[in-house]
């Protein structure tokens, strides 16, 4: 008998992540005819993003398009996804996904079927030119940078004053010079129109977006083997597809931003490694400080040390 899963997304329907999720849903609905179907019932207007982890745990809905970073309170280990310097496909192949799935099952009553939109890193976007340090990395003292909690510690290590703001405030803040920059993905800069004020971008990017497709564990366990197989199969295919689409979107946005005259400050050689090392360290240290039980194993599976 055909089951219909009710899905919730963490962004409004017209944002790229929800649109990508729609593609996944279409694929499942195509391949799962007669077995499993997905119906999207809403986004942040239905459940506030900060409470999606709970909704998944309760089973208020069945399947979720939901970043691990939104429920680190439940599963601090979820930070391994954003702190990973592997592709999601690599993490699937080397057993990292299976390993962390046990943790998600225990702590969040959830089962992850895919880490989607991977490889999409964060960059510093600045309105004025930063000085360079003796080691060749950027010196952000005298800078006020808006960050999400995830990037905060790193940006502070670079000397910047961290400013916490919701994305809707950033436009006015960049315009008026309340902040001198923000850390964000390349995709999305133009949607928020922040590109109007930003003049410089620092490469390389660090971390990656941690958007998962996951189900309430009871719902997952209650599915037929056939339904599970279809979801797993589409999940695996879609992980790669969304990785590629995201890379294409990033490339075209990158070109658009460069065409607008945004200058890329690219760190090379040792400076680049130092920069990346510092960035990833803040993420992994935080994971460890919250719950060290699985730290070593997760780090081994999700992360290749930077030399």
Partner 1 sequence: MDWTVSLAILVGGLLFAMGIGLPVALAFFAVNVIGVYVFMGGSRGIDQMLSNATTAVSTYSLAPVPLFLVMGSLFFYSGLARRVLDAIDLLIGRLPGRLSYLTVTSGTVFAALSGSSLANTGMLGALMVPEMVNRGYKKHMALGPILGSGGLAVIIPPSTLAVLLGSLARIDIGALLVAGLIPGLVLAVFYAGLIYAQTKLDPEAAPFYEVEAMPLSRRLWVFTRDVMPMAIIIAAVVGSILTGIATPTESGALGVFAVGFLALAFRALDWKAIEKAVTEAARVTGMTFLLITASSTFAQLLAFSGASSGLVRWATGMEMGPTQMLLVMLLILFVLGMFMDQVSMMLITLPVFVPLAASLHFDMVWWGLIMLLMLEVSFTTPPFGLLLFVMQGVAPPGTSLTEVARAALPYMLCVFLLIALLIVFPPLATWLPENM
Partner 2 sequence: MSMLITAVDLISRFLFLLAILITAALVFIVTYDVGARNLGLTPPNWAVNTVEYGMLHITFLALPWLVRTRGHVCVELVLTYLPARARTAWELALHAISALICFYLAYRSGLSLADTIAKGSYEVRSFDMPMWMLFASMPAGFLLGGLQFVAFPLRGDSFFAGAAAEKGGL
Binder of residue 281, out of partner 2, partner 1, none (CB less than 5 to 8 A by kind): none
Binder of residue 45, out of partner 1, partner 2, none (CB less than 5 to 8 A by kind): partner 1
Residue 216 touches partner 1, criterion: CB under 8 A: no
Neighbouring residues of 199: CB distance < 8 A, sequence distance ≥ 6: 126, 127, 128, 129, 261, 262, 263
User: Are 6 and 39 in contact, with CB atoms under 8 Å apart?
Assistant: yes
* Residues between 165 and 194 with contacts to partner 2, criterion CB under 8 A: 165, 178
C-alpha pair distances (Å), 33 with each of 1, 83, 229, 236: 10, 37, 13, 18
Expressed in angstroms, the distance from the first to the final Cα of the chain is 53
* Residues between 60 and 89 with contacts to partner 2, criterion CB under 8 A: 72-74
* Residues between 43 and 62 with contacts to partner 2, criterion CB under 8 A: 50
Instruction: Return the HEC string of 45-72.
Output: CCCCHHHHHHHHHHCCCCEEEEEHHHHC
Min dist CB 127 to partner 1, Å, is 11
Neighbouring residues of 256: CB distance < 8 A, sequence distance ≥ 6: 190
User: Are 267 and 123 in contact, with CB atoms under 8 Å apart?
Assistant: no
Min dist CB 176 to partner 2, Å, is 12
Separation CA 247–CA 294 (nearest Å): 31
Residue environment code for 60-70, b if the CB has 16+ CB neighbours within 10 A, otherwise e: ebbbbbbbbbb
Min dist CB 120 to partner 2, Å, is 21
Per-residue contact flags (x/-) with partner 1 for residues 143 to 182, judged by CB under 8 A: ----------------------xxxxx-xxx--xxx----
Separation CA 158–CA 232 (nearest Å): 41
- Exposed, middle or buried, 298 (CB in 10 Å: 0-12/13-18/19+)? buried
User: Are 177 and 107 in contact, with CB atoms under 8 Å apart?
Assistant: no
Min dist CB 72 to partner 2, Å, is 5
Per-residue contact flags (x/-) with partner 2 for residues 237 to 276, judged by CB under 8 A: ----------------------------------------
Other C-beta atoms closer than 10 Å to the C-beta of 248 total: 10
The residue whose two tokens read 């295919």 is: 237
Residue 4 touches partner 1, criterion: CB under 8 A: no
C-alpha pair distances (Å), 283 with each of 83, 200, 202, 287, 289: 6, 24, 19, 6, 10
Min dist CB 140 to partner 2, Å, is 13
Choose which of 196, 255, 258, 277 interacts with partner 1 (CB under 8 A): 196
- Is 72 or 257 the residue whose CB approaches partner 2 more closely? 72
Stretch that binds partner 1, among 44-52, 85-93, 205-213, 274-282 (CB under 8 A): 44-52
Choose which of 35, 63, 110, 163 interacts with partner 2 (CB under 8 A): 163
Choose which of 144, 190, 199, 297 interacts with partner 2 (CB under 8 A): 144
Binder of residue 252, out of partner 2, partner 1, none (CB less than 5 to 8 A by kind): none
| Total residues in contact with partner 1, by rule CB under 8 A | 34
Tokens of 170: 């950033």
Query: Which chain residues interact with partner 1 by CB under 8 A?
Result: 12-15, 41-48, 50-51, 54-55, 58-60, 165-169, 171-173, 176-178, 191-193, 196
Query: Which chain residues interact with partner 2 by CB under 8 A?
Result: 50, 72-74, 142, 144, 149, 152, 161-165, 178, 290
């Amino acid at each position: 008998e055909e089951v219909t899963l009710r899905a919730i997304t963490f962004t409004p329907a017209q944002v790229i992540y929800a649109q990508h999720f729609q593609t996944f849903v279409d694929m499942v609905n195509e391949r799962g005819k007669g077995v499993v179907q997905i119906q999207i019932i809403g986004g942040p207007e239905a459940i506030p993003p900060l409470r999606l982890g709970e909704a998944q745990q309760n089973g208020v809905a069945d399947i979720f398009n939901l970043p691990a970073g939104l429920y680190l309170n439940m599963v601090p280990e979820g930070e391994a996804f954003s702190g990973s310097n592997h592709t999601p496909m690599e993490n699937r192949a080397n057993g990292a996904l299976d390993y962390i799935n046990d943790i998600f099952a225990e702590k969040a009553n959830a089962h992850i079927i895919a880490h989607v939109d991977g490889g999409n890193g964060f960059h510093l976007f600045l309105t004025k030119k930063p000085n360079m340090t003796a080691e060749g990395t950027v010196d952000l003292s005298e800078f006020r940078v808006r960050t999400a909690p995830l990037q905060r510690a790193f940006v502070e290590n670079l000397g910047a004053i961290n400013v916490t703001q919701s994305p809707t405030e950033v436009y006015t803040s960049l315009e008026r010079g309340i902040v001198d920059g923000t850390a964000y993905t390349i995709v999305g800069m133009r949607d928020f129109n922040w590109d109007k004020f930003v003049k410089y971008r620092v490469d390389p990017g660090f971390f990656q977006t941690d958007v998962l497709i996951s189900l309430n564990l009871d719902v997952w366990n209650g599915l037929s083997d056939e339904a599970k197989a279809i979801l797993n199969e589409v999940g695996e295919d879609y992980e790669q597809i969304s990785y590629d689409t995201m890379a294409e979107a990033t490339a075209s946005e990158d070109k658009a931003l460069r065409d607008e005259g945004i200058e890329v400050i690219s760190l090379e050689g040792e400076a680049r490694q130092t920069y990346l090392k510092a960035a990833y360290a803040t993420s992994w240290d935080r994971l460890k400080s919250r719950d060290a039980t699985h730290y070593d194993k997760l780090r081994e599976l999700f992360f290749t040390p930077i030399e």
